[in-house]
Structure 1
Amino acid sequence: MKGFVRNNQYLSLCGLNCKLCPMNLAGYCSGCGVDNQSCKIAKCSIEHEKIEYCFQCGSFPCDKYAHIDDFDSFITHQNQMNDMGKAQQIGIPAYNAEQEEKRKILDFLLASYNDGRRKNLFCIAVNLLEIGEIENILQAVKSDKEFQGLSKKEQASIIAKQLQDIAANKGIVLKLRKK
């Protein structure tokens, strides 16, 4: 969007974790900014002294956020409001550090266990689950000799099932929610 520039590509203006998005991973989207489509929230930021995050606005949350996390786009919106609250609470540097760690985990999952059908699942899981929960799975399979002898497809299936089980126990569904 013309006149709108993002310095932080980990957390968008509206609270999405852009570096955990399949479109970003594939190089189709570099996050909010000049090269992207018009966005009512980016336009609002320009009109409000180019604030970096919506939570910095005195009107937040405004009507633009009504039902914002009800449905997903290419990336899950399930934690959008919670993630903005977390970033505001712990600070952007700490939030970005967590997102950098999540991106490393996502890159590892995709390089090691993607059988060609798990990209969205892994993106959503890393976005919605805690780092420690995912690390526990990875530590367990790393030392499991039987797991190491399985095909990539079998390994991917096991990792996916374990992520889905953790998510289910937390009431989270690891699928994009479409309108």
Structure 2
Amino acid sequence: MTDSIPPGKFDDVNEAVGEEWEAETTPYERVREVISREYSPRSAERVAADARTSPKTARKHLNALAEEGFVATSTGDRGGTHYRRSPESLVMEQATDILSHVSVDELVTRIAAMRETISEFQTEYGVESPEELIVEQANQTLSGASENERGIDPDTLQEWQTTRRNLAFANAALSIANAERFVDGDSSRLEENTSTP
């Protein structure tokens, strides 16, 4: 029989990891890391608690991140400022990640394929977007006319939504690549890549 480690030894593992994180990072780094995963508005106090810093320090760093465009602000129910990751910074992060893994030529090919997939969905279901289809199907159900209409299964609906989201990120990446070429003086392919509908 082997000796087992008493449960008490592991009670403070999370606290130990938190203390290590606090010792190895600055308050700014911790605030940025916490808010980078927040897409719903949060108060500075909640961010501060997760970032292991004071609300005053968190607020200072959150305001600096808002000025940089990394954080979006809004007014909470009680009038205080709330913070969340800005959609623009997420798009930039995703686009940059795409460009680090995919060549511009491959990106153009993938964009064309995604556009074709979306066009096929639009043709098959007779609407421009998955949201329109959901509304149309709900209206048909309410009116009792849905018996003869073919619905969309949840997996197909999710595929359509995901393809549309991925296309948006890919288009952003292509725009950045084209802008970088223009800035670098290599605008020869700029018109070629941006002319794709």
TM-score normalised by the chain length of structure 1? 0.28
Highest relative contact order (Cα 8 Å, sep 6+), 1 or 2?
A: 1
Q: Specify the structure having the higher radius of gyration (Cα).
A: 2
In proportion to residue count, which structure has more strand?
2
In proportion to residue count, which structure has more helix?
2
TM-score normalised by the chain length of structure 2? 0.26
